[in-house]
């Protein structure tokens, strides 16, 4: 059952909200009896004719008419991340300077796209801490901390991140990491209502940004990597009451859920075999959601299966609907309308959850309403968003050996035999990071190009023996193979050496590259494009960089001492245009950053805002790198290392990377103090204050086995001052 505010009757709350929104008052009364807001101040920079965050359906559907604001995750409802502001343009961008900056108080990743409504910037940071700022000065107006329990970092991939908030009728709607949706008063940060989106007993969390759909707040959950069953839900944005839910994968055959997806679940169940419902099923829509107010459809992009490999979840095969699909449902009821499955029987961790972008494109002389999608598995899809018809699909990054092409007669990718899982390791491309993952791409109707933070990534791919699989709810369901360790070691080195990244401008009509800007590694952030003929992106080189949108020429660049993985935004206050971005590196699975024996360092997370002719604001000195420390020389029995590898895969891989490479904290680089305290850190929460919760379900012996495996991996990769 959903919980609403304990302080107010929901009907009374709705009435008070409606009265408030028509009051034309400068001050907004508190609609809740309690709050964890650190401070409360009237948002003096808002319009005098309406209160803060007074977004309704008309303003949301016509957001392009208010370019000073950024009211949705992708700016306007079409998710294009395009702004018609052009005060900062190809001629003036050289005058750009840092206008203000705010320290966010965390070394954790910050992936959010801020919202800006009527001069107030609303931002969400690590652990779902949400803050309102004066968008012109960075002055804090209020802050709300939902107090997410630290143990949620154990089941959340990858990091305690949130990607955005929503605004509606004077409220900011916060997606808390622990699965709650919380609406707070946009003027004060006081709680209006709160509801739990989780099904009891399921290892679910929220890392994506909610979307508004005519008064409903739509949200998906994370958890497909740890044995949950995915779904998308919609809640009344004024009361928090659940309106509909759509399950992405079927439950137990013959047992109805009593939800909007019931009408299509029998069709989905026919594509599964075995007893999948006992293992979760997965499919979680942990990121990409879009809403078309003209067609009144909600679209969501779905994720990988649970368990990851088909032989464990659906042993006799099947397409496993609706894994790795785009699903369209009625926005008001959640009823199924159509789907397109990008990867039938997905089993490569290519979860297809990248953000869908909506546009009207002229294709073969006909204007088509389309969805554009560039998920991990390296195809750029153009799909009719009214019908689900596949219009085109081409590789947007080269050198993939996973699939040769998409068969346009069937809509299915033609998968190369080398990609089918066996216990023998192969070097497969794309890797877990994909050709493009969640980092948002943008689209400019001015140039007709999409701007993708693209990568060429690789993975050492294999599947474990049946005996290696043990389903434990809340733990990773990935079972990597352990055969032929010498070959795996060689392939790991090739994988890290071959990975590259670039900013890619892509023509979705011609389905071909227009231009690219190379980066030294994968891992650069999302993009923004503007009518000033600009593309804005934070790079893996720890810069904010701005390019000409038509040809990729670098126009301006500034070191920001971190990588901003999310998307930049632009807005205007009192006639001055700003560009803002969260610079909080999420330590993504990127290889080769620690070059020449010098670890890749980055500054604490910051929110940065830039404007023309801004001066007088400087960043603190960047952190100094420390030398890498060689791993312990202790050698361990191979049987212990093998046990540790299986345990690492189940318990640690989500945060610390496949093959113990990369991740939120690369364990190959542990100091002597960390090695000495390893058991206390894992079992007793010695570093819980730094985001590492205790794993009290493990035994001392199991932790010793994991430690042995990590040390052995560091020994394999240590090359006299750096990791290879």
Report pLDDT digits (tens) over 577-592.
999 999 999 877 787 7
Between 320 and 700, the more confident residue is 320
Please tell me the predicted confidence (pLDDT) of residue 347. Answer: 95
User: Tell me, what's the pLDDT at 413?
Assistant: 97
Q: What Rg, from alpha-carbon coordinates, does the chain have?
A: 24
What pLDDT sits at residue 400?
A: 82
Q: What is the pLDDT of residue 172?
A: 98
Q: Both 605 and 669 in a single domain?
A: no
In a domain, 367, yes or no: yes
Instruction: Answer whether residue 8 is part of any domain.
Output: no
Whether 493 shows a pLDDT value over 90: the answer reads: no
Whether residues 381 and 432 share a domain: the answer is yes
Instruction: State the pLDDT at residue 2.
Output: 35
pLDDT at 388 over 50: yes
| Predicted pLDDT of residue 49 | 58
Cβ contact 551:537 at 8 Å: no
Question: How far from 570 is each of 103, 170, 555, 615, CA to CA, in Å?
Answer: 20, 22, 17, 19
The pLDDT tens digits of the residues spanning 187-228 come to 999 999 999 999 999 999 999 999 999 999 999 999 888 899
Do 530 and 652 sit in the same domain of this protein? no
The Cα 668–Cα 95 span in angstroms is: 43
Could you report the per-residue pLDDT of 113-141, keeping only the tens digit for each?
999 999 999 999 999 999 999 999 999 99
Q: pLDDT tens-digit profile of 341-351? A: 999 999 999 99
Domain shared by 556 and 681, yes or no: no
Residues 572 and 443 in one domain: yes
Residue 260 counted as domain residue: yes
The answer on 590 and 496 residing in a single domain is yes
**70, part of any domain:** no
Q: Which of 20-29, 213-222, 252-261, 548-557 has the lowest mean pLDDT?
A: 20-29
- Three-state DSSP at 268 gives helix
Q: Strands 289-292 and 569-573: what pairing?
A: unpaired
Which of the four pLDDT bands, split at 50, 70 and 90, describes residue 25? very low
- Same domain? 106 vs 192: yes
Over range 385-413, report the average pLDDT.
95
Q: Give the residue-averaged pLDDT of 683-689.
A: 75
Q: Give the phi and the psi of residue 124 in degrees, each rounded to 5.
A: -125, 135
Which pLDDT value is given to residue 662?
Answer: 64
Distance CA 339, CA 328 (A): 6
Instruction: Respond yes or no on whether the N-terminal peptide bond of residue 158 is cis (omega within 30° of 0).
Output: yes
**Same domain for 408 and 544?**
yes
Section 549-565 average pLDDT: 97
pLDDT of residue 421: 93
Task: Please say if the pLDDT value at position 8 is more than 70.
Answer: no
pLDDT of 23 strictly over 70: no
**Least confident interval from 418-422, 526-530, 717-721:** 717-721
Mean pLDDT, residues 695-708: 84
Q: Which of 432 and 406 is assigned the larger pLDDT?
A: 406
Answer whether residue 12 shows pLDDT above 70. no
CA distance 231 to 220: 6
pLDDT of residue 22: 36
| Residue 722 pLDDT greater than 70, yes or no | no
Same domain, 569 and 650: no
Residue 411 pLDDT > 70, yes or no? yes
Model confidence pLDDT, tens digit, residues 468-483 = 888 888 888 888 887 8
What pLDDT, in 10s, does the model give residues 599-650?
A: 788 899 999 999 999 999 999 988 776 666 778 888 888 888 888 887 887 7
Q: Which residue has the higher pLDDT, 109 or 657?
A: 109
| Residue-level pLDDT at 666 | 73
Q: Per-residue pLDDT averaged across 155-162, rounded?
A: 81
Q: Are residues 438 and 513 in the same domain?
A: yes
Q: What is the pLDDT of residue 663?
A: 62
Q: Is residue 567 part of a domain?
A: yes
pLDDT in tens, 639-667: 888 888 878 877 777 667 677 776 667 77
Average pLDDT over residues 516-528: 95
Residues known to be catalytic: 349
Is 600 found in the same domain as 657?
Answer: no
625 located within any domain: no
| Rounded distance between C-alpha atoms, residue 673 and residue 54, angstroms | 52
DSSP structural state of residue 32: -
Positive or negative, the CA dihedral 702, 704, 705, 710 is positive
Quick one: pLDDT at residue 719?
57
pLDDT of amino acid 691: 65
pLDDT confidence of residue 626: 63
Distance CA 599, CA 723 (A): 10
Its domain, for residue 601, covers 82-612
Domain shared by 603 and 655, yes or no: no
Beta strand pairing call for 180-185 and 191-196: antiparallel
- Least confident stretch, 303-312, 514-523, 708-717: 708-717
Mean pLDDT of 688-693: 70
Instruction: For residue 254, give the CATH number of its domain.
Output: 2.140.10.10
Beta strands in 574-657 (DSSP E): 576-583, 606-612
User: Between the CA of residue 112 and those of 72, 207, 527, what are the distances in Å?
Assistant: 12, 10, 13
CA distance readout (Å), 19 to 24, 51, 235, 267, 485: 10, 12, 21, 46, 68
Tokens 């801004």, residue?
Answer: 614
**Distance (Å, whole) CA 615 – CA 266:** 62
Is the pTM above the cut of 0.85? yes
Q: Per the domain annotation, does 53 fall within a domain?
A: no
Would the pLDDT of 724 be above 80? no
Domain count within the chain: 2
Contacts of 135 (CB under 8 A, 6+ apart): 45, 116, 119, 120, 121, 571, 573, 578, 580, 609
- What's the whole-number average pLDDT of the chain? 88
Length of the chain as a residue count:
724
From CA 54, how far away is CA 168, in angstroms rounded? 6
pLDDT for the residue 371: 98
Give the model's pLDDT for residue 37. 40
User: What confidence score (pLDDT) does residue 652 get?
Assistant: 76
Distance CA 461, CA 481 (A): 8
CA 666/CA 673 separation, integer angstroms: 15
Let me know if 598 is exposed, middle or buried by CB neighbors in 10 A (0-12, 13-18, 19+). Answer: middle
- pLDDT > 90: what percent of the chain? 68
In-domain check, residue 56: no
Q: What is the pLDDT of residues 247-295, one digit of tens each?
A: 999 999 999 999 999 999 999 999 999 999 999 999 999 999 999 999 9
The predicted structure's pLDDT at residue 34: 29
Enter the tokens of residue 79. 């998710």
| DSSP 3-state of 696 | coil
């Amino acid at each position: 059952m959903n919980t609403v505010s304990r302080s107010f009757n929901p009907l009374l709350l709705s009435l008070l909200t409606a009265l408030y929104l028509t009051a034309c008052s400068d001050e907004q009364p508190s609609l809740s009896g309690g709050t964890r807001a650190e401070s409360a101040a009237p948002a003096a920079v808002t319009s005098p004719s309406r209160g803060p965050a007074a977004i309704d359906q008309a303003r949301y559907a016509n957001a392009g008419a208010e370019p000073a604001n950024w009211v949705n995750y992708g700016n306007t409802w079409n998710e294009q991340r395009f702004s018609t502001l052009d005060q900062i343009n190809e001629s003036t961008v050289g005058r750009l300077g840092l206008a203000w900056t705010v320290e966010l108080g965390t070394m954790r990743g910050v992936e959010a796209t801020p919202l800006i409504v009527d001069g107030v910037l609303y931002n969400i940071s690590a652990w779902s801490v949400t803050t309102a700022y004066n968008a012109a000065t960075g002055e804090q107006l209020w802050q709300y901390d939902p107090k997410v329990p630290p143990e949620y970092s154990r089941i959340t991939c990858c990091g305690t991140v949130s990607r955005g908030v929503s605004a509606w009728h004077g409220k900011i709607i916060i997606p808390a990491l622990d699965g709650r949706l919380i609406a707070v008063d946009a003027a004060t940060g006081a709680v209006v209502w709160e509801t739990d989106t989780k099904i009891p007993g399921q290892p679910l969390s929220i890392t994506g940004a909610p979307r508004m759909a005519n008064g409903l707040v739509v949200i998906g959950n994370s958890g497909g990597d740890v044995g949950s069953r995915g779904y998308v839900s919609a809640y009344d944005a004024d009361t928090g009451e659940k309106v509909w839910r759509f399950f992405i994968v079927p439950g137990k055959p013959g047992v109805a859920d009593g939800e909007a997806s019931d009408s299509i679940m029998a069709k989905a169940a026919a594509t599964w075999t075995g007893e999948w419902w006992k293992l979760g099923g997965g499919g979680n829509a942990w990121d990409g959601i879009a809403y078309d107010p003209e067609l009144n459809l909600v679209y969501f992009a779905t994720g990988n299966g649970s368990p990851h490999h088909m032989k464990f979840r659906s042993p006799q095969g099947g397409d496993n609907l609706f894994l790795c699909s785009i699903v369209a449902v009625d926005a008001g009821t959640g009823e199924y309308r159509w789907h397109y499955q990008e990867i039938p029987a997905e089993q490569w961790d290519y979860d297809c959850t990248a953000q869908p972008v909506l546009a009207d494109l002229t294709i073969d002389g006909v204007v088509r309403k389309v969805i554009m999608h560039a998920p991990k598995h390296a195809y750029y899809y153009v799909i009719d968003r009214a019908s689900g018809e596949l219009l085109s699909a081409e590789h947007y990054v080269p050198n993939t050996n996973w699939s040769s092409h998409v068969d346009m007669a069937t809509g299915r990718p033609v998968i190369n035999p080398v990609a089918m899982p066996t216990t023998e390791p192969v070097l497969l491309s794309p890797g877990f990071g994909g050709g493009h993952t969640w980092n948002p791409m943008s689209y400019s109707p001015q140039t007709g190009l999409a701007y993708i933070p693209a990568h060429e990534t690789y993975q050492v791919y294999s599947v474990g023996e049946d005996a290696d699989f043990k389903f434990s709810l809340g733990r990773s369901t990935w079972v990597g193979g352990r055969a032929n360790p010498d070959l795996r070691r060689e392939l790991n080195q090739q994988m890290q050496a071959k990975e590259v990244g670039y900013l890619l401008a892509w023509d979705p009509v011609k389905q071909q590259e227009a231009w690219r800007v190379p980066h030294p590694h994968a891992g650069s952030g999302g993009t923004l494009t503007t009518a000033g003929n600009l593309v804005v992106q934070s790079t893996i080189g720890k810069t904010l960089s701005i390019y000409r949108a038509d040809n990729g020429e670098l126009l301006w660049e500034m070191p920001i001492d971190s990588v901003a993985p999310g998307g930049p935004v632009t807005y205007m206050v009192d006639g001055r245009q700003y560009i803002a971005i969260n610079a909080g590196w999420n330590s993504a699975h990127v290889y080769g950053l620690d070059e020449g024996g010098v670890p890749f360092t980055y500054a604490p997370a910051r929110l940065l805002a830039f404007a023309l002719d801004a001066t007088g604001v400087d960043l603190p000195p960047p952190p100094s790198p420390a030398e890498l420390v060689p791993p312990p020389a202790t050698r361990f029995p191979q049987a212990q290392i093998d046990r540790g590898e299986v345990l690492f895969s189940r318990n640690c891989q989500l945060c610390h990377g496949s093959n113990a490479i990369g991740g939120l904290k690369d364990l190959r680089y542990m100091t002597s103090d960390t090695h000495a305290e390893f058991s206390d850190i894992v079992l007793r929460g010695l570093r819980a204050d730094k985001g590492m919760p205790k794993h009290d379900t493990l035994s001392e012996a199991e932790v010793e086995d994991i430690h042995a495996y990590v040390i052995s991996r560091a020994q394999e990769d240590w090359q006299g001052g750096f990791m290879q």
